[in-house]
Structure 1
């Protein structure tokens, strides 16, 4: 289906009201992007910050009258619209377009993460066949890669793990394929739980190998290894919960953390854990350690 896009450049204060106007004028979606190379890598708790310069993109059906829509927007805005232009969005099968760019990823000596629609590059290795669906976790992000690389190095055979914030299930499924006995998946997003179950099934794992739960429904389990690839803020808040679900002598692997946040996160867990040296990739870090105190 062909589409038209209206792109506007504006400032932080005007972004929200312009977004509302675009939606009211018939846009089926509006995207906000940084227009001045000003990264916001992780907002503080409770914040939803915007960049100083914002580019809005409204997506419209191709059969609209662009002149009429522009005039109505200007009238509703009460002034001349900020810098803007219309463009035609190329008509593609966007799902297939994304699939064509997602390639297999090697995550250590044994483990490969492979798109479910491709043949594994090394069939004799441990190949996790993945279709992330609508959930986070493809192995391409530095935080996920760092966790997978660490898992590849661990003797997980016969162990019990918890994957807290399981997303697509990529970490838990990888652990099972590497020999773990059982993984408990936890996520606040029901879509993530469905994606995890689908990916476990896709990799021919037993139905009960990776049960999944919303946090409030998670049973009282303890793990030999606790995995949590989330964000720094939630990890700090979850420290008492995650330590309680980790056995004494067990290991923890935390990611979703920027390099300048590592010390804050470690401080929240030091009452229970001794940490290994920090691993870093593209400004993101992975924290691993051993539980030595109850």
Structure 2
């Protein structure tokens, strides 16, 4: 079958929103780029009218550039997988696919099935969070993974000793991919993945650690909810925003009674740790 590629130039704050919106229009896979987002759909499923209506809706609130083109006939998921390279976080963590050879030099070697739709560890924010997890107490801690994507952060949390895991994402494919990756890494119960938002997390649940690698707007809106689920003394790691947005994130968290611990940056992206 032939595919069509849609190229969007947009703010990173809208990347996940567009993934969800375009999935509803039949787009099958996504790649985050420096400019925004590339999305792929079977050419016969492409509805130009519906796409234009979606773009008009969002162009009223943010700048969006777009173009699309028909692609030559290829197995694009196979092409993506062939080009996937392992990611290394210092000398402690290596994330690889099954078709890569193991490397015993790394203390934590994590397996994923690389999908075009989701972060595979290459993005700076995922690297930042994984690197920070090495410094945080996980043993016996219940951990919540907000917007789990591949589930790689939750998988690392279990490797570091986390007790119960709860992960969720708004995207059905992300949930399926996380479940698949949990199985690959022998992440067993108690570990749950569901499709939804923070609103669906049971009100009585409490966590010693929360990982939220999403984007600035969602974090500013949801940090008060995270605080409700966080145990006293628990840690919150947030990322998915630019270094210039960090002051807004810190003010929001401190207004909810959290204590700023530290911040790290990588190629203008930021990660911040708080404690309750």
Please say if residues 231 and 256 of structure 1, whose CA atoms lie closer than 8 Å, have aligned partners that are also in contact.
yes
Alignment pair present for 1:277 and 2:259: no
Larger Rg: 1
Alignment pair present for 1:242 and 2:221: no
Where structure 1 has 5 or more consecutive residues not aligned to the other structure, the ranges are: 8-25, 32-43, 60-88
Partner in structure 1 of residue 92 of structure 2: 110
**In 1, Cα distance between equivalents of 2:4 and 2:127:** 36
Please say if residues 94 and 106 of structure 2, whose CA atoms lie closer than 8 Å, have aligned partners that are also in contact.
no
**In 2, Cα distance between equivalents of 1:168 and 1:135:** 9
Question: Deviation string for 1:70-100 (max 9, x for gaps)?
Answer: xxxxxxxxxxxxxxxxxxx444332222112
Partner in structure 1 of residue 142 of structure 2: 160
**In 2, Cα distance between equivalents of 1:3 and 1:167:** 23
Alignment partner of 2:191: what SS?
Answer: coil
2:68 to 54, 57, 65: 57
More moved, 220-229 vs 268-277 = 268-277
Question: Deviation string for 1:214-271 (max 9, x for gaps)?
Answer: 2343223111111000000000000111111111111110000111111111111103
Where structure 2 has 5 or more consecutive residues not aligned to the other structure, the ranges are: 8-42, 49-57
Let me know the Cα RMSD of the aligned residues.
2.9
1:105–1:4 Cα change, 3 Å: closer
Alignment pair present for 1:211 and 2:192: yes
Moved over 3 A (4+): 1-5, 26-31, 89-92, 132-135
Listed as ranges, the matches of 1:116-131 within 5 Å are 116-122=98-104, 125-131=107-113
1:159–1:47 Cα change, 3 Å: same
**In 1, Cα distance between equivalents of 2:175 and 2:3:** 33
Alignment pair present for 1:264 and 2:248: yes
